[in-house]
Structure 1
Amino acid sequence: MSLLANTLCLLLFFSSSVLRVAQGSSRGSLGRKNGATTFPPSLLGDDGICASSVVIHGYKCQELQVTTADGYILSVQRIPEGRSGNGNNQTKQPVILQHGILVDGAQWLLNGPEQNLPLILADNGFDVWISNTRGTRFSRRHTSLDPSSKAYWDWSWDELASYDVPAVVEYVSSQTGQKPHYVGHSLFIRIFGISEFVPKGIPVQAFLKLVCTHPGVDCYDLLPVITGKNCCLNSSTIELLLKNAPQSTASKNLVHLAQTIRSGVLAKYNYVRPDYNFMHYGEASPPVYNLSNIPHDLPLFLSYGARDALSDVVDVQTLLDSLKSHDADKLSVHFIKDYAHLDFVMGVNAKDVVYNAVISFFNRQFN
């Protein structure tokens, strides 16, 4: 299978497109009833991400849909130009932005237009496409399955890598006639560092709201326990994050992440019973993803922070070790000593610290 992306930019750690190149018991979503998540509504209304987070700032935005090969209908937002209406779309470089787990595409837009990556890219002449994975608020449709059914939630990041990412990349490529750049923010949760991760079927957002309103509890101060000590967030953006997250995902997805964390091996979903694995893979154990299959000449930008508790420097070094054979002039590594997990998408200074470097990286590949 060929990679349709022009470049790959990873803010922190792994992204689905890396897995797509590298490779391959039904459970419901993180929730209770028939596998359906029961999180309360978030800050966004039914009008979608364009209306709530893009158009209000004076930018054009299109709400689009992409159907995967296995029938999931994904929400995609396109920001074709900057606020000043700069340039011809046919000459613009397309960029896909992919969010991480338990959030959706709105995470990129929580800061103001001068501080969030999608609108900064648009103002710098890029054609921006925001992808939303299956099961999140605006990507909860299917050609034949109902989100209230267990069958709808029978997937993990294997399927995100095998179906969601290729569907969006191929759609953007077909619409623009170009190979898009691809930016991914951490999907994995400290894959090589945590001994255990056990998802709980509770309405997490309601729980957070209850905890955060309790006297003496400051959720701004709780975040570092999870993400590491973020250097550069403001309180209003934190409030928006807590209103917008967590987004739905499949319990199977979290189980798969837990399997990877426990084993330290990047492999397909383990059905535990050898006969079940054999039925799905033709072998008793799940196949291991081979990161050496990533094309050695694929332009790759990796940015990570010293304070990140979810993808620490040891984790990133493990990834870099697997990329030792990558062409040196195609691999850019960007280390930020003051940054933690959320600074990359919500930091008030991210434009100067990260995004300008990303734009320079893209432009180097284009010229």
Structure 2
Amino acid sequence: MDYTSTTLLLAVLLFASAVADDISHDSLCKSMVETKGYICEEHKVTTKDGYILGMQRIPVGRTSKMANRPPVLLQHGILMDAATWLFNSPNKSLAFILADNGFDVWMGNNRGTISSRGHTSLSANDPAYWDWTWEQLVSDDLPAMYDYIHNQTRQKLYYVGHSLGTLLALASFSQEKLVNMTKSAALLCPIAYTGQVTSMFPRAIANTFLADVRKIMKLSCPNCCIKPSTYDVFLDHAPQSTSTKNMIHLSQMLRAGNIAKYDYGDESENMKHYGQSTPPLYNLTRIPKDIPLFIGYGGADSLSDVKDVNRLLDNLKDHQKDKLVLQYRDDYAHFDFVMAENAKSVVYDPLLAFLRTRA
């Protein structure tokens, strides 16, 4: 990606994040789960740095009421929230499908989203509230959610992430964090290396959130199988807020094509934070080779490009063969994995089979 495209991307995403507060947002339990006939619980989790995160739990399915169900955490992508897993009807949305298939479903919401706007001492109007990047989601948010779910259920977790939610898992596992609490992880549209993201990406993001989502997603991120009515639900919940610093960090990844800690843009500042003049890289070859992984990716995805996914897979070339499952769909783009009409048969059924074999 060239410098102009990266700069445009940053400007667009900052604007999208700034207007996110205009979204009308009842509680997800009330607006998107209970209306479908499911029991839903709202939970609050406090991170070690004071952010108060909202989580939604679907403890049982509509028919199955069995106890001691295995917990699964669903983690959304950038500028989204837990609504990601609820866009379609119950037989086509992953959260409902998992609940109806015997899982205790937990849905996380990153700091800054409507459900996770609280803090023990800061207001969302304070600049200090927004002083974070996805690294704090790795170091603080995700561990807090894991610990809370584990304390509630006394079981290890299954993890499913989409887009940015996959980066949080990969970065955590590469530091051997949360591994001992994870039974297996499913990564849909993995975001790790981004060197192949094309210059259409900024325009795709701009138009997706700020203009006609149907037209642009067909042009630049041609999701193959999404109903027009699903886009309307999508726009009721997106974009969600994130921090300027997080957008800068992501743009650094896009420009450099690697996964590194935040670059303060000054050697002395980097030295102060890291003890070296450049930000340390995340080494994905350090991901434990025996953690079960399911990776779903698509040939039409302009955000999680196949060449970038292949670079990730090269990092996993020594992974135990029976612990790595790949699900590739040539006509699938980024949002098909969470919104497509046929995602149940194409993605979720294989994902369920993967989770069940790791029980």
Q: CA deviation at 1:115?
A: 0.7
- Unpaired runs of 5+ residues, structure 1, are 1-28, 213-218
Partner of residue 45 from structure 2, selected from 55, 66, 89: 66
In the superposition, relative to structure 1, how do residues 197 and 156 fare at CA in structure 2: closer, same or farther (>3 Å)? farther
Greater relative contact order, per chain length (Cα 8 Å cut-off, separation 6+)? 1
In the superposition, relative to structure 1, how do residues 225 and 70 fare at CA in structure 2: closer, same or farther (>3 Å)? farther
Partner of residue 14 from structure 2, selected from 30, 33, 58: 30
Residues in 2 aligned to 1:126 and 1:196: alpha-carbon distance in whole angstroms: 40
Residue equivalent to 2:148: 171
Q: CA deviation at 1:224?
A: 2.9
Residues in 2 aligned to 1:205 and 1:335: alpha-carbon distance in whole angstroms: 27
Q: CA deviation at 1:206?
A: 12
Contact 2:192–2:259 (8 Å) recurs in 1: no
Residue equivalent to 2:88: 111
In the superposition, relative to structure 1, how do residues 330 and 207 fare at CA in structure 2: closer, same or farther (>3 Å)? closer
| 2:277 is the alignment partner of 1:281 | no
| 2:354 is the alignment partner of 1:361 | yes
Residues in 2 aligned to 1:37 and 1:186: alpha-carbon distance in whole angstroms: 21
| 2:20 is the alignment partner of 1:39 | yes
Please list, as runs of the form range in 1=range in 2, the aligned pairs for 1:220-259 lying within 5 A after superposition.
220-226=214-220, 228-259=221-252
Residues in 2 aligned to 1:205 and 1:245: alpha-carbon distance in whole angstroms: 13
Residues in 1 aligned to 2:247 and 2:209: alpha-carbon distance in whole angstroms: 19
The aligned length equals 319
Residues in 2 aligned to 1:190 and 1:43: alpha-carbon distance in whole angstroms: 34
**Which deviations, in whole Å up to 9, do the C-alpha atoms of 1:86-109 show, x marking residues without a partner?**
201x2x111000000011111211
AA of the residue aligned to 1:193:
Q
In the superposition, relative to structure 1, how do residues 312 and 196 fare at CA in structure 2: closer, same or farther (>3 Å)? closer
Contact 1:195–1:261 (8 Å) recurs in 2: no
Residue equivalent to 1:265: 258
Q: CA deviation at 1:71?
A: 0.9
In the superposition, relative to structure 1, how do residues 231 and 109 fare at CA in structure 2: closer, same or farther (>3 Å)? same
Residue equivalent to 2:163: 186
Q: Which piece of structure 1 moves more, 315-324 or 283-292?
A: 283-292
**Which deviations, in whole Å up to 9, do the C-alpha atoms of 1:229-276 show, x marking residues without a partner?**
111100000111122211101111111111111111210000010110
- The alignment's TM-score, normalised by the length of structure 2, stands at 0.84
Contact 2:64–2:102 (8 Å) recurs in 1: no
| 2:60 is the alignment partner of 1:81 | yes
Partner of residue 341 from structure 1, selected from 331, 334, 338: 334
AA of the residue aligned to 1:77:
Q
Q: CA deviation at 1:38?
A: 3.8
**Which deviations, in whole Å up to 9, do the C-alpha atoms of 1:296-330 show, x marking residues without a partner?**
10000000011111112101101001111111110
Residues in 1 aligned to 2:143 and 2:95: alpha-carbon distance in whole angstroms: 20
Residues in 2 aligned to 1:136 and 1:248: alpha-carbon distance in whole angstroms: 5
Residues in 2 aligned to 1:39 and 1:248: alpha-carbon distance in whole angstroms: 5
Partner of residue 299 from structure 2, selected from 294, 306, 311: 306
Larger proportion of helix: 2
Contact 1:133–1:164 (8 Å) recurs in 2: yes
Residue equivalent to 2:168: none
AA of the residue aligned to 1:328:
K
SS at match of 2:52: strand
Residue equivalent to 1:296: 289
Q: CA deviation at 1:190?
A: 6.8
In the superposition, relative to structure 1, how do residues 270 and 336 fare at CA in structure 2: closer, same or farther (>3 Å)? same
Q: Please give the root-mean-square deviation of Cα atoms over the aligned residues, in Å.
A: 2.3
- The alignment's TM-score, normalised by the length of structure 1, stands at 0.82
AA of the residue aligned to 2:161:
G
